[in-house]
Amino acid sequence: MGVFGLLFLAFSSTLLLLFNLSTAQYRVAKLCLGGNYTTNSTYEANLSILLTSMSNNSTNPNNARFFTSTVGSNSDGIYGLFQCRGDCTSESCKKCAKTATEEVTSRCPFKKETVLYYDECLLHYSDKPFVSNLHLDPTVHMVNDACITANVNQFTRTLSALMEGIVARAVFNSSNLFAVGETYFTSSVNIYGLVQCTQDLSPYDCRRCLYSSIFQLSCCDTRQGGRVVNPSCIIRFEIYNFFGPEAIISAPAPPQITAPPNTNTTNPRQTNSSKRVVIIVVSTVTTVILIATVAISYSLRRRKIDGDVTQMRNGVDEISNVESLQFNFGTIREATDNFSDANKLGQGGFGSVYKLKFTQGRLLDGREIAVKRLSRNSDQGVTEFKNEALLVVKLQHRNLVKLLGFCLEEDEKLLIYEFVPNASLDHFIFGLARNFLINYFSLSSLDPIKCTYLDWERRYQIIGGIARGLLYLHEDSRHRIVHRDLKAGNILLDAKMIPKIADFGMARLFVMDQTEDSTNRIVGTYGYMAPEYAMHGQFSVKSDVFSFGVLILEIISGQKNNCFFQSEHAENLLSYAWKHREGGTALKLIEPALKEQYSRTDAMRCIHIGLLCVQEDIALRPTMAAVVSMLNSNSVTLPLPSTPAFFVNSREPLSTGDNAGHTDQPLQPFLPDQSINEVSVTEIYPR
């Protein structure tokens, strides 16, 4: 090939690369809704006028980022809304508006309602008035195909805390209902989050929309990024910086103080002497300050450690001799081979869990135990450690994990538990359920043997065991305890597959006759949180009942709440179960791996009880005593459930026929390969 041929090839390759970059710039999720209009109709003419008007408005500096428009009236009327992302530039906003208005009719041909979500803007038009009204459905999940491979629980907790902070900024401190934020995860990875509502919403409706979307983030568990999109709001997270230029707000550098010009003439010897005096004085003062600081820090640290041990012993002495519960750190370190990875069982939210066995000595007579070693650098971990130890050591029930002791020496905080060999429930039930993700992203499924190993009888026994454990916490123990983080990952299964509720780091102890409490610090796992807790920080035993209802539906369906794709609108599991029960097809919810080998009566009863537990009205949810009674006796009459919390009311009826889902899909995401872009911004900042 000659020189001109090589030059032509290089030039062509460059053009192709530039073309690919330009076409990949706009990734879009489309929602094609409503009925159809006809060619050359008045509606089509009005739509053309609306789109032209919206494209022109994007060049108006007064309302370029957000505007609404109406064309026509009655059956031919069209209502439109356009909004740019809060962190994009004016030029990017104009380009996105131009692209959206030009492409919308080809992406959803002849549809009377369409929502297009690009990276940098949103376009929504409809034949029905929708402006200033909250619309939570349909919901789109866009999942990054890269996985988090380590510290998954810690990632989930960190992400939840980040999103909570961003939502608060967007709703209460932002004029355009938009905010972005960043938080530290590891030395090489930060998490970036973004939330935005359409500006026609009230702050209250915006908060409802964002929390409803965060509730669905369980669809993106173990993922490096994801989005939840509906017509009224969007949330997104990634482990690379995807913010636009106007989102990066750096604190201004402090002004440099310039010394005024020296107008006095002084003797050089006097100057040198003065300098020596200043240096001596400054050095002496600095040394004294450093010594005092070190002494005070050591005193406070020693007092803190002594106080931790004293408080721990005061709590433990209520039920047992402290010497029989306190383990020696050196002994545990030796038994775990200095906490080697070979003995590591997993990574929890506040530290690692190790397996060890005392083959010598009298401590546990050779029994296997598990040690939870909390992170030294976690201030939150200290609180969680005290909470978990002081609570769990008082609890004795077959369906609660048993705390055998603790260790609190210097910076080390260890909890010693009985060893539960079969890991957590989520390893067993969430394997065959993610067919959509497996097929769409070519993911490998979890162990199918574990999924099929849970036959109907075992699942039913697990549901009953969890219910009895919760009943003990709520009514039968010395104190009423609200767990606040009940989920499949916190249910451990022993060698006989008996469930044991674990991880009491988030639990709250109620005083006598106390029925509810509130907090400004929302903790737990979205997807299992009751709405009154997720949105307002109010919790009670009925919050645990809600989580238990979610668990029931997950156990019998083998699907994680909000992370399944059985319907074309990707609604959450609660809504899906409710609609099938209302439509007389509740048994479609049952895990296909069971292959009809289950009790239809018990299955229907479990679905019914699960829906009773997840009702939005707190007063209508049953107590755990009532739930246990319902599970134990078929003679107990069940009340009719009302609409579940976070109910997704699709605009189209749920299809139950053999051809369900054969029509146009509302979501067509385009997700290119994404790389990590490390930056050092650490603030949550609204725009």
Query: What positions carry a catalytic annotation?
Result: 485
Six-digit token string for 170: 């967007």
CA distance 119 to 27: 6
CA distance 69 to 85: 19
With residue 234 as reference, give the H or E element that holds it: strand 233-238
Q: How far is CA 230 from CA 127, 139, 236, in A?
A: 18, 5, 12
C-alpha to C-alpha distances, 410 to 92, 299, 308, 414, nearest whole angstrom: 55, 14, 10, 11
538, containing H or E segment? strand 538-540
In sequence order, what are the residues at sequence separation of 6 or more whose Cβ sits closer than 8 angstroms to the Cβ of residue 65? Answer: 83, 84, 86, 90, 93, 176
Q: Which two tokens stand for residue 626?
A: 């009532």
User: Are 547 and 486 within 8 A, CB to CB?
Assistant: yes
d(CA 415, CA 408): 9
- Identify which of 164, 135, 145 has the alpha carbon closest to the alpha carbon of residue 226: 145
Rounded CA separation 394/667 (Å): 50
Q: Which positions ≥6 away from 661 have C-beta within 8 Å?
A: 567, 568, 655
Instruction: Determine how many CB atoms are found less than 10 A away from the CB of residue 21.
Output: 9
CB contact set of 194 (below 8 Å; sequence gap of 6+)? 85, 87, 166, 178, 179, 180, 234, 235, 236, 237, 242, 243
Residues 6+ apart with CB under 8 A from 378: 350, 351
Residue pair 546/613 in contact (Cβ under 8 Å)? The answer is yes
Rg (CA), the chain: 30
Alpha-carbon span 568 to 140, nearest angstrom: 10
Tell which phi-psi region holds residue 261, choosing left (phi > 0), alpha (psi between -120 and 50) or beta: beta
Q: How many CB atoms lie within 10 A of CB 269?
A: 8
Residues 6+ apart with CB under 8 A from 564: 433, 434, 436, 557, 570, 573, 576
Helix 600-613 to helix 624-632 angle (10° resolution) is 170
Dist CA 401 CA 646 (whole Å): 31
Name residue 184's beta-bridge partners: 190
Beta strand pairing call for 178-184 and 685-686:
antiparallel
Please state whether beta strands 499-501 and 538-540 pair in parallel, antiparallel, or not at all (unpaired): unpaired
Q: In the chain, what's the furthest Cα-to-Cα distance?
A: 105
Single-letter residue type at 58: S
112 annotated to a ligand binding site: no
Spatial CA neighbour of 609 closest among 595, 588, 624, 594: 624
Cα gap 78→112, rounded to integer Å: 8
In 228-321, alpha helices (H): 268-316
Could you give the angle at which helices 152-172 and 203-215 cross, rounded to 10 degrees?
Answer: 170
Q: Which residues are annotated as a binding site for ATP?
A: 372
